[in-house]
Amino acid sequence: EAQVTQNPRYLITVTGKKLTVTCSQNMNHEYMSWYRQDPGLGLRQIYYSMNVEVTDKGDVPEGYKVSRKEKRNFPLILESPSPNQTSLYFCASSLSTGTGSEAFFGQGTRLTVV
Amino acid sequence: GQNIDQPTEMTATEGAIVQINCTYQTSGFNGLFWYQQHAGEAPTFLSYNVLDGLEEKGRFSSFLSRSKGYSYLLLKELQMKDSASYLCAVQGDYKLSFGAGTTVTVRA
């Protein structure tokens, strides 16, 4: 089954404790991205990757890091989480950034930083 | 930059029709998507427009006018399960940008 898998689904952590949210897709998609979703603000892009070893900042990259060492995986790293990073996070992948290439989303990770 | 506007909330009765408007100002345009998102779940793809005009898919239709920077999603024969958020998203050169979403509540 074609899917994007994120882990964990839920995470409560303390300020400053490094964490990684994993994302994996099995569709051989080139393009992957991370979003955060906050009430009233919609989905905002954190980072994106157009292919292996090619990543770039989205609209809200501060406090986050990513890597793309393999095509299927695109982990999101919070080196020193802070309470303002409490949010619902989604990973997404698409075949490319070309026309008609719909995005497939993971199940979401609800992160709480206390 | 990207600026995508859609209404925050809409309420309609089961069996009725609802139209969700989306206006956008973006740098680069490779198409406009509509996604449906039920509370606490991931967004799922509904429709895609890249040329002006209407695309129909069962009870859902989407319209695009590139010259006006305008799209709408039309939901016909509303069902209770259509209660969800509907997200307008514009594909730019390298990224997909989303509006804040419109929460549609269907009443019996």
Fill in the DSSP letter of residue A79: S
- Which residue does chain A place closest to B98, by CA atoms? A43
pLDDT digits (tens, 9 = 90+) for B55-79: 999 999 999 999 999 999 999 999 9
Cβ-nearest to B96 among A50, A100, A103: A103
Of the candidates B19, B9, B25, the residue with the CA atom closest to the CA atom of residue B97: B25
pLDDT digits (tens, 9 = 90+) for B16-56: 999 999 999 988 888 999 999 999 899 999 999 999 999 99
A23-36: b or e for each residue (b if 16 or more CB lie within 10 Å)?
bbbeeebbbbbbbb
Can you tell me the mean pLDDT for A102-113?
96
Task: Please provide residue A87's backbone torsions phi and psi, each rounded to the nearest 5 degrees.
Answer: -175, 175
pLDDT digits (tens, 9 = 90+) for A37-93: 999 888 999 999 999 999 999 999 999 999 999 999 999 999 999 999 999 999 999
Contact assignment for B31 to A43 by CB distance below 8 Å: no
Fill in the DSSP letter of residue A73: B
pLDDT of A63 reads: 97
Smallest CA–CA separation between B100 and chain A, in Å? Answer: 4
**pLDDT beyond 80 at B1:** no
Smallest CA–CA separation between A98 and chain B, in Å? Answer: 7
Smallest CA–CA separation between A4 and chain B, in Å? Answer: 10
List, as ranges, residues 12-51 from A with C-beta within 8 Å of B: 33, 35, 40-45, 48, 50
